[in-house]
Amino acid sequence: MASLLTLSIGEYSVVELILRLTTSLIGMTALLLLLSVSCSSKQFRFPLILSSVALLGAAWFESGVWLAWKDAFELAGTSYCVTGHLLAGQDRIIAWSLGVPAVLFCFGMIRFPHGNTGGHYLEKIFLLFAGLAIIAPFSSLLAIILLMAVSGAIAGVRPFRISEHNAPMALETRIAAGCVLLSTAITFLGSWNLLPLGKSANGILVRGEIIHSLCDLLSLAVPSVILLIGVLKLSNQATAKKD
């Protein structure tokens, strides 16, 4: 029994709380995007609806990560012992594949609306994000390369620049893309054992799950909130021009 991985009640509870909080915040952000459709301009409603649906799907799979954590351990005396059930790492990958490409694509829809001079890039960006969603569960290295290229293209960063100088939400898009790339970089550093997570197995597991959850919030919830703020700002500007 001593050879089994065990967690203290505090360690288990912290991770379980973080996983619940991650699922709740992503779900709440999705509902906030959906409710904000009623107070946004007509041309920005579809990006809000699309991002909210994608986030709801991501929240569903994030809940699978939380439930798998609960099934993986059981209370035995004063500590939690493993039960033999596996953690749902694949659910976290699917949540990323559903949420991140869709949210960033919504930034592209706003920056390159149909009828404007940059509108013909939207179809290309859609195909790239569709490829990213398909590739991510199978090849993490190709996914991050494609993510960097597409994020740079939407944000207008050299050498991927395809946007006009007067395209809307330039700053917001760069911040959102930076959050996604930062969270992806942290995740890869962790998978390559380049983060100081400790030496004990339980410490590595606990800190790894916490970092994974924070990265999920950084790549899913934070860009969505930035998208919402940018859309509401543009809607207010459009309303002010009409008045």
Tell me the C-alpha distance between 169 and 151, whole Å.
14
Q: Do 239 and 115 meet the contact criterion of CB atoms below 8 Å apart? A: no
Instruction: For residue range 117-176, list pLDDT tens digits in order.
Output: 455 566 667 777 777 777 877 777 777 777 777 777 666 655 445 445 456 788 888 899
What the block records as the tokens of 226 is 């930035």
Rounded to an integer, the average pLDDT of 216-221 is 95
- Taking the domain 6-242, which CATH number applies? 1.20.1070.10
Q: Is the pLDDT of residue 207 over 70?
A: yes
- Token pair in block for residue 143: 């996914």
Cα separations in angstroms, 129 against 98, 119, 122, 148: 10, 16, 11, 11
**Distance between CA atoms of 138 and 123, rounded to whole angstroms?**
24
Give how far the C-alpha of residue 162 lies from the chain's centroid of Cα atoms, to the nearest Å. 24
Contacts of 192 (CB under 8 A, 6+ apart): none
User: pLDDT (tens digit, 9 = 90+) per residue, 187-205?
Assistant: 888 877 888 887 888 888 9
Report the distance separating Cα 53 and Cα 208, nearest Å: 28
Q: 3-state DSSP call for residue 2?
A: coil
Task: Summarize the confidence of residues 3-31 as an average pLDDT.
Answer: 93
pLDDT top residue among 141 and 65: 65
pLDDT at 155: 65
> What does the alpha-carbon distance between residue 128 and residue 19 come to, in Å, rounded to a whole number?
30
Token pair of 96 as six digits: 């990323």
Q: How far is CA 203 from the centre of its chain?
A: 25
Instruction: Say how far apart CA 30 and CA 213 lie, in whole Å.
Output: 17
Report CA 199 to chain centroid distance, whole Å. 29
Q: Are the C-beta atoms of 89 and 110 separated by less than 8 Å?
A: no
Give the closest residue to 219 by CA, choosing from 67, 55, 71, 44: 55
**Which residue, chain included where needed, has tokens 């339980």?**
202
Sorted by where each begins, the domain ranges of the chain are 6-242
